Structure 1
Amino acid sequence: MQQRCLYYGAVLLGGLIAFVGGCAAPDRGVPVQTTPPPGWVEEGSRWWRADLDTTGIFRNLATLEAMGVRAKPVFVADPRQASQPEVLRDQVIHAVRQSLMPLYRNQPAFIDSLFEQYVVPRLRKAPLDAEPTALIGRFKREAYQILRQHFLEPRTLLKLGQDIPVPYPDSLQEVQGKVRMQVYIDEEGRPAAIEVIDGVHPVLDRIALRALTDMRWQPAYLLRGGKSDPIPSWTRFS
């Protein structure tokens, strides 16, 4: 008889909490936790540590403009000007900045200051010797390598479902989807504030929130003067 897969579990896929199908039995020995742990408070879809000043913590990181990065696309009224080297260069620089959105979300102000200081001068001198799409791809890789000489993004140290048990209620076995979260990480790599950006189900969202309170990261680092200083950062699961 063919086995029918009814179980859905929670896993971390590229920073995205996904409730997906499988054929294993759920771990019924792990209690379902849907309330904040001691020392945490909640308000709607936002959880944070009680000792945290939340001013500016729950930020909109959807776009560069929302982050406060004043990077406007370059438009030209005369199509003949679009092929001019400096106009094309400005458009490519803007596209490269947009392509680095995941890195910008870690620390918008720091990343943009580094981009302006180290990347823009380099791109101003780079030859425009290929089609725009090829230039953007090449300059993105180059820009990322330059930025990583000065900034290291946070890295997960634990895995959901392995290091951190994620129970799944039997009553919600047929529900599946992806919970998109945004986490503010302190200098020690601990989650300090968590927000649901896109949810799946009220109970599953809270299970995901609770699981992330146990996550640990290698914190973001600012590299300068031969030293590496841990700094707070954000990571957005999208």
Structure 2
Amino acid sequence: MKQIALVTGATAGFGKAIATRLVRDGYRVIATGRRRERLDALAAELGPDLLAFELDMTDAAAIAALPGSLPEGWRDVDVLVNNAGLALGMEKAQEADLANWQTMISTNVTGMVELTRVLLPGMVARDRGHVVTLGSTAGIYPYTGGNVYGATKAFVRQFTRNLRCDLLGHNVRVTNIEPGLCGGSEFSTVRLRDPARAAAVYEGTHPLLPEDIAETLSWIIALPRHVNINEVEMMPTCQAAGGLAVARGMKD
């Protein structure tokens, strides 16, 4: 029997690349997202091993109902890929839009923990499974305008670490993948709401691509089940942590 993977946010970027790679690796993939037409197009491209399943990560009732809403034969999820997430805005905290903060928390944190909680008991009962979460280097290294987005990814980092403690004694693995600068997705366009500004983020760089993330995830979940990769922090060679900042000439 082929293993079943559920990938959130599969309509574009990381999620689409991961879903595509896992089907080609021999998994049956439940691809979730809000844009049904994109999910249907992906299913048409990849065939019967991909199940398109519309899901809004801010809809708690839909998440709670997910296991029973899946068709027979698709309910025993072996790999959960918590990919859905977003950043909104680059304003400093004192200037930021509170609604943007709430949307990031609802999607990146609340929806992610609710879906994990719904699927985890089945993995424990079957004594097999793998929870892979897409964090970010923004959860490690602060930067101006990162405020709540970075905080949500720091939450992801600590949540996965604590899951490992809770799952000790069970053959259920947990991994947090933390990419840095990554192009080829809608991330910056959604965040900045300006295609020109979004394109400028990657100007003169060779960033990571969604396929690089999919390759990394494919390797991690293919390892023997006694091997748990706790965290993977990855950046393109054109990126490094910026160090501490100093403001000069401030008034006493």
> TM over 0.5, yes or no?
no
Compare relative contact order (CA 8 Å, sep 6+) and give the higher one, 1 or 2.
1
TM-score, with normalisation over the residues of structure 1? 0.26
Instruction: Tell me the TM-score normalized by structure 2.
Output: 0.25
- Of structures 1 and 2, the larger Rg is shown by 1
Q: Which protein is richer in helix relative to its size?
A: 2
